[in-house]
Amino acid sequence: MSALLTVDRVVKRFGGVAAVDGVSFTLDAGSVLGLIGPNGSGKTTLLGVLAGTHEPTSGTVTLDGKVASGKGAHRAVHAGIARTFQTTRLFGSWTLREGLRLAHGERRGRQAWSDDRLADLLGLDGLLDQPCASLTSAAQRLAMIALALATGPRVLLLDEPAVGMDTAEAAALADAVRRAADELDVAVVVVDHNMQFLMPLADTVLVMAAGAVLAEGTPEQIRADEAVIASYLGEA
Amino acid sequence: MRSRSAAALTAAAVFAASAACGAQSGANDGDTVKVGAILSLSGIYSTLGPAQKNALTMGVEALNKTGFTVGGRKRTLEISYADDRSDAATTGVTALREMVQAQKIPVIAYGLGSDTYVPQLKRQPIPMVNILDSSYPGILDLSQNLFLTRGASPTYVPGCLHYAKRNLGTKSISVITAKGEPYAEGLTQLVAKSAQTEGVAIAATAEFPLSSTDYSNAIGAALAAKPDAVYLSSVTAVILPVLKQLRQSGYTGPVIHSSGVNPDQAEAILGAQFDSIMKDNYDCAGTLPTTSANPAAKSFAEAYQARFNEYPQDLTMWAHDFPFIVAAAMTKADSVTDPEKIQKALSEITVPEGTVSGWLPGDGGLLFTGRNARTASEVTAWCAGKRTLRSAMVFDTRDGAVVDPVFPEDTCA
Amino acid sequence: MIQVLVNGVFLGCLFAVVAVGLTLVYGVMEVPNFAHAGVIVLAAYATWSASAAGLPFALAALVGIACGAAVSVLTEVVAYRWIIDNPAAAPAVALGLMLILQNTALRLFGGEGRSMDTPYDQVLVEFGGVSLSGVKVALVVLAVLALTALHLILSRTSLGRAMRAVAQDRGAAAMLGIPMRRQYTLAFLIAGLLAGIAAVAYAPTFQVSPYMADEVLLSAFVVVVVGGLGSVWGAVAGGLVLGVVEGLGSAYLSSAYQSAFGFLLLVLILVLKPGGLRGATGRRVA
Amino acid sequence: MRKHASALGSSALLSVLAYLALTGLQGDQGQVALLVVVWTIALTGLNVILGLGGYPSMAHAAFFGGGAYLSAILLEKGLSMTVAAVVSVAAIMLVGFLVALVFSRTRGQYFAIGTMFFTAVAFLVFTNAAEFTGGPTGRPVDLGYSLDATVVLLAVSVGAGLAVFHLISVSRFGDRLRAIREDEDLAQHLGVPTARVKLLAVVVSAGFAAWAGVLFGQYNGVIAPSQFTFVQSFLMFVALGLGGAGRLLAPVVGALVVIGLTQLLNLGPGVSQIVLGVLFIAVTLLAPNGILGGITALTRKVRRKEAVA
């Protein structure tokens, strides 16, 4: 079947600087793509272009054959691409259930996963009716993912989801992301620095440096690739 | 949910409470007859209201010494005052409704805002006697319920131009006017008309917005045309700041206006330098009590000056006479409560006893001809160094032209 | 033409002095200080009553400026201090204070305008066919002196540097151990002094009344927004630009809509650069 | 349905009360009742953009004045009352659309100051376009509706306005507005078309304000610029905050407090305004979500004490 998401030569310039300089890749439903690279390599900007936060200077992002980039974040969501943020952003005074209700409203008729199913998937059961501000920081990061999933996306973009989590919480998160990909048939792109969390989770890995794709392949291939080691990983 | 119904109940309680105390006393057939007066006691027209209130108080006291008889009983008059805060459209209309609906008052004296009262008068007609507003075009054709106890501006503005041409040798005059202020807009049109009849050229007409604080643009435009004299068109509180900036900008020629400034207001608004700013300043309006030839007006002026330690403006005479006019109308109408009868009587009374303004009687000695009672007009000049005004020319007008002008000798020299 | 530009500069100086007082307070506490108008009014009345009581004008002016500073600090101590962590409440508190100050003046001194006499009332300055009355020249001089003094305080003294740090980022400044509460009071003190100076300079050109500062405040807010909330030099530049725009507009187009030209300038700036001329980033953008 | 019942019930109850107040009270008290009712209708509109959406619109008095003036001018041009009313409201909603468009990229303080300045300029137009607006002393309004019809319309509009607000508040539009108020960027990333929702909210609020202006002109018979200044916009903004922005009955409580205080408490020039100023500060500091917010907090605390006792 043709790829779910096609990213074709996307460029994003801020003033003179090309934060993303001609990136192309494809993504199939249900697969998890790890996006790694040193700070300033353009990972977050690329994620922003995919999610519609930024308008690409050139190049396109198409989902199911329809162009989804450059029309603003809310149209990306309606097209089926949802994201979370590096810094936790939630509707503090709302309960998670109220946030989910809003997100459900924006599904544009796509498949709906019930609050309980999402809570079970992300290990948030019993926390649905508390104000989000009173959740633990790890739970808040999971709540952000729940909100994104509630919009019934085909593609889920996670921006450093495991930051600030201990190994147990990161493992639980990896398990939840894998279940989301498998059970909900969602394609996931994960940007993170936590290799113990990312490598076992990702089906394929894309390494970026200075705005361009340095290497792409399975986690094992990436680990062996000298160029990647030289620019980024140091010794394996 | 409980909180929402609780809040609805509190709102309900407050509404109901204010409804309960709605009932108002209003019956007017006791021996004290209540009439209304809506005046500008604050705001930009606040140079007019207080003086009117002082004069009305003196008039009522004078009237109540003898009282007046209606329906076989001797009555005295009482005035219920209200401040329209120089904004008839908001506070004036509310005061009018309070007097008519709640206090059941049959006749009201008022100063400005005739056009804003018209809709309310359509709903509940009562006679309203204007003791101030001479703006042009006149207020009388706005509604049959309106009466005017003074000469309108067409009866005095020609005097300004005539005097300027004859005594000041003015060949061209610039006009600085307040945009949107009704009195000013009427005066500006009249000055243009009278200048034409007197053969004086209008050098320039410059406007400034009522709310502005910096008049340099208007003054610049007016002076650029090198006029022999400058006419400031509006009421006292508006033109005096303009006069100050005009003198500050170096203009030393004659300044003419029709705002009825008295020395106390000049000092309050212009500050310590008021005497030099007011030099070479001429005012054309109704006859002033202090400079009037009519003895009753002169004694009223002295009594007013003694009592309120304030120079009496022309409007004080007309305010003083209002109680006498109402008493005469009520006696003729033989009613103190029926607005319709009182209104009809107003058009039928002759010049009442005890009035001081020196009303010019119409044919058959009637006070009102076409609901307008008139007095003679006068040009006054500022007495430098004497903190007072002198009469420069007393005159009457017939269809826009000055007739039989009298030039009293210069009292302040 | 030059005369109109000179008038524009005069207006610009007035707007700048008032706007700097506003932007300083905004920079430090994120408060739209509408009560600034009330401070100006009370400072003007203080000067007026001092000179009415016989003090020479210079002394009366000092009384006015001191009164402005005192009232301004009072507004911070009494009200603004308690809403520092709830900026949404700032407009309500600001209006409350404006109502209180303005109507206190109304209650004490009545509504009619009074004139403030100065020794240089009769002075007329003329150079190259352009004339400016003494009171207006005094305003320009006072404005320049006040702004240079402020510049020296902000750049040379430790107090000033601390305040600029607070304006940049309150959180970071607090971490550096800058005593925040003292900074807030200091900001309002300086704003109060500027208000006093504005009152002493502006009142003689018009009159002293409870509503004398309303329109100036509105134009000053345009300047604050155009110059970028919180940036002092933006306010000075913005003030002069707005002064000239309003001067030109009222001279050549229509004097009745003078502040409308200020509004058009505001709309232009907001649409092109939502952060204002000097690009202070909007506070809430992600 | 139960949740709607109490909201629609209170709206209907308030309509009846408004009718009683408008017909029962005379003179000064009649004027207070009129202003409270008219402000309630206008504030209900403001409650959409400010209460739900969290956007501090200071343009409300300009829309209110625009409705009054436009209907007066159209009536003078000979249009029938209903046509004049509908055209005025529609035109002011269009003006609201343009204002929202101009300020769509601004937020918080910038939006407040920009819209406040719009009201200041609208005031200039009301004051200076004398041939239409009668200049600074205002202009009379031809009486299209009879007094009784106006009173009925005023009373019905109070209830209907609140009911419409309630329906908006529970609808997806309401949810989206509240999301914008909580965190606009997050809302956009969850699919809320924030620009369009804000635009619609301003247009709806302008419609309410314009309709209130039309009815105010018909009852009062005369309108003047001094009723539509930027300070009035400010007072409306703060009245809603006092009431408890976002809550159904905030407009009623806000109008009662602000109008009631300024009109009834006239102990001399300025004193009522000073008291109003002190009240604003007190409620803002002590009850951040207004009087209604305070009442809810109190009842919840009382209920919790009962549970504990």
- HEC readout, B284-353: EEECCCCCCCCHHHHHHHHHHHHHHCCCCCHHHHHHHHHHHHHHHHHHHHCCCCCHHHHHHHHCCCECCC
For the domain that residue B163 is a member of, what is the CATH number? 3.40.50.2300
Q: Can you tell me the mean pLDDT for B361-369?
A: 87
Among B156-170, D163-177, D275-289, the least confident range: D275-289
| Overall domain count for chain B | 2
Among B39-53, D117-131, D190-204, D269-283, the least confident range: D269-283
Answer yes or no: do B143 and B43 share one domain.
yes
Q: Could you report the per-residue pLDDT of A76-86, keeping only the tens digit for each?
A: 898 889 999 98
Judged against a pLDDT cut of 50, whether residue B25 lies above it is answered with: no
Q: How far apart are CA D1 and CA C252, in angstroms?
A: 63
Q: D280: closest CA among C77, C33, C93, C90? A: C93
C 119-138 residues inside an 8 A Cβ radius of B: 121-122, 124, 131, 133-135
The residue type found at C96 is: G
- Token pair recorded at residue D159: 């209830």
Judged against a pLDDT cut of 70, whether residue C23 lies above it is answered with: yes
Q: How far apart are CA C162 and CA C174, in angstroms?
A: 10
Q: What is the pLDDT of residue D173?
A: 94
Among A227-236, B26-35, B86-95, C111-120, the least confident range: A227-236
Judged against a pLDDT cut of 60, whether residue D245 lies above it is answered with: yes
Q: Do chains D and B touch (3 or more CB pairs under 8 A)?
A: yes
Q: What is the pLDDT of residue C280?
A: 42
Domain spans, chain A: 5-233
The residue type found at C126 is: E
Residues of B in contact with C133 (CB under 8 A): 245, 248-249
B365, part of any domain: yes
For residue B107, give its domain range. Answer: 32-152+313-373
The answer to whether the CB of B255 falls within 8 A of the CB of B230 is yes
Answer yes or no: do B134 and B169 share one domain.
no
Interface with chain C: mutation pick from D198, D274, D291, highest number of C CBs within 10 Å: D274
Integer-rounded Cα radius of gyration of chain D: 19
Which residue blocks in chain D are alpha helix, DSSP H? Answer: 2-24, 27-46, 60-76, 81-102, 108-128, 130-133, 147-170, 172-189, 194-220, 230-243, 250-264, 271-286, 290-308
Chain A with chain D: Cβ pairs closer than 8 A: 61
Answer yes or no: do B64 and B192 share one domain.
no
B412, part of any domain: no
Domain spans, chain D: 2-229
Judged against a pLDDT cut of 50, whether residue C286 lies above it is answered with: no
Q: What is the pLDDT of residue C158?
A: 82
Sequence-separated (6 or more) residues with CB below 8 Å from residue C62: none
Separation in Å, CA of D5 to nearest CA in chain A: 22
CB contact under 8 A, B43 and C111: yes
Q: Is the peptide bond before D225 cis (omega within 30 degrees of 0)?
A: no
Q: Phi then psi for B143, rounded to 5 degrees?
A: -160, 150
Among B170-184, B293-307, C90-104, C272-286, the least confident range: C272-286
Looking at every residue in chain D, the average pLDDT score rounds to 88
DSSP B195: H
Is pLDDT larger for residue A134 or for residue C121?
A134
Q: Can you tell me the mean pLDDT for D205-225?
A: 94
Q: Say how many CA atoms lie within 13 Å of A233 toward its Cβ.
A: 19
The answer to whether the CB of A196 falls within 8 A of the CB of A84 is no
Among A182-186, C87-91, D87-91, D182-186, the least confident range: C87-91
Looking at every residue in chain B, the average pLDDT score rounds to 86
Q: What is the pLDDT of residue B411?
A: 74
Alpha-carbon separation of residue D225 from A154, A168, B90, D99 (angstroms): 56, 67, 10, 20
Q: Can you tell me the mean pLDDT for B101-124?
A: 89
Alpha-carbon separation of residue C228 from A98, C215, C274, D266 (angstroms): 37, 20, 9, 41
Q: A102: closest CA among A155, A144, A34, A150? A: A150
Q: How far apart are CA D232 and CA D213, in angstroms?
A: 13
The answer to whether the CB of D35 falls within 8 A of the CB of D264 is no
Chains sharing 3 or more CB pairs under 8 A with chain B: C, D
Q: What is the pLDDT of residue C88?
A: 73
Angle at the Cα of A105 (from A99 to A110), degrees rounded to 5?
Answer: 120
Q: What is the pLDDT of residue B29?
A: 56
* Among candidates C102, C263, C282 on the partner chain, residue whose Cβ is nearest the Cβ of D110: C282
Q: Can you tell me the mean pLDDT for B246-256?
A: 89
Q: Could you report the per-residue pLDDT of B38-69, keeping only the tens digit for each?
A: 999 887 788 889 999 999 999 999 999 988 98
Answer yes or no: do B250 and B331 share one domain.
no
Residues of D in contact with B10 (CB under 8 A): 253
Judged against a pLDDT cut of 70, whether residue D107 lies above it is answered with: yes
Separation in Å, CA of B14 to nearest CA in chain C: 24
CATH number given to A5-233: 3.40.50.300
Q: Torsion angle of alpha carbons B301, B304, B306, B312, nearest 10°?
A: -70
CB contact under 8 A, B271 and C124: no
Q: What is the pLDDT of residue D38?
A: 95
Q: Could you report the per-residue pLDDT of A29-88, keeping only the tens digit for each?
A: 889 999 988 888 888 899 999 988 888 999 989 988 888 888 888 888 988 899 999 888
> With bands split at pLDDT 50, 70 and 90, how would you rate the model's confidence at C99?
confident
Q: What is the CB neighbour count within 10 angstroms for residue B350?
A: 15
Q: What was the ipTM of the complex prediction?
A: 0.79
Q: What is the pLDDT of residue C249?
A: 84
Q: Could you report the per-residue pLDDT of C199-231, keeping only the tens digit for each?
A: 988 888 877 888 888 888 888 888 888 777 667
User: What is the sign of the dihedral through the CA atoms of B399, B404, B406 and B407?
Assistant: positive
Q: How far apart are CA B121 and CA B100, in angstroms?
A: 10
Strands B73-83 and B32-39: parallel
Q: What is the pLDDT of residue B202?
A: 92
First to last CA, chain B: 84
Residues of D in contact with A89 (CB under 8 A): 183, 185-186
Judged against a pLDDT cut of 60, whether residue B28 lies above it is answered with: no
Q: Can you tell me the mean pLDDT for B180-196?
A: 89
Alpha-carbon separation of residue D1 from B9, D159, D249 (angstroms): 22, 18, 19
Answer yes or no: do B181 and B204 share one domain.
yes
Q: Is B203 helix (H, G, I), strand (E, B) or coil?
A: strand
Q: Can you tell me the mean pLDDT for A227-234?
A: 62
Q: Can you tell me the mean pLDDT for C46-58?
A: 89
Q: How far apart are CA D81 and CA D215, in angstroms?
A: 11
Answer yes or no: do B214 and B188 share one domain.
yes
Q: How far apart are CA C266 and CA D231, in angstroms?
A: 19
B58, part of any domain: yes
> With bands split at pLDDT 50, 70 and 90, how would you rate the model's confidence at B13?
low
CB contact under 8 A, A105 and D172: yes
Strands lying side by side in the sheet with A58-63 = A17-27, A5-14, A58-63, A66-67
CB contact under 8 A, D116 and C283: no
H-helix or E-strand spanning residue B7:
helix B2-20
For D195, nearest residue in chain A (alpha carbons): A74
Sequence-separated (6 or more) residues with CB below 8 Å from residue C110: B42, D269
CB contact under 8 A, D274 and C104: yes
Q: Can you tell me the mean pLDDT for D283-297?
A: 82
Q: Could you report the per-residue pLDDT of C126-184, keeping only the tens digit for each?
A: 777 777 778 888 888 888 898 888 888 888 888 888 877 777 777 777 777 777 888 88
Q: What is the CB neighbour count within 10 angstroms for residue A87?
A: 9
Sequence-separated (6 or more) residues with CB below 8 Å from residue D137: B87, B88, B89, B112, B113, B116, B180, B181, B182, D224
Chains sharing 3 or more CB pairs under 8 A with chain C: B, D
Judged against a pLDDT cut of 70, whether residue B30 lies above it is answered with: no
Q: Can you tell me the mean pLDDT for A106-112?
A: 80
Q: Can you tell me the mean pLDDT for B20-24?
A: 43
CB contact under 8 A, D191 and A148: no
Strands B255-257 and B281-286: parallel
**Residue environment code for C212-228, b if the CB has 16+ CB neighbours within 10 A, otherwise e:** bbbbbbbbbbbbbbbbb
Judged against a pLDDT cut of 80, whether residue B264 lies above it is answered with: yes
- Token pair recorded at residue C126: 């003329």
Q: Could you report the per-residue pLDDT of D194-214, keeping only the tens digit for each?
A: 999 999 999 999 999 999 999
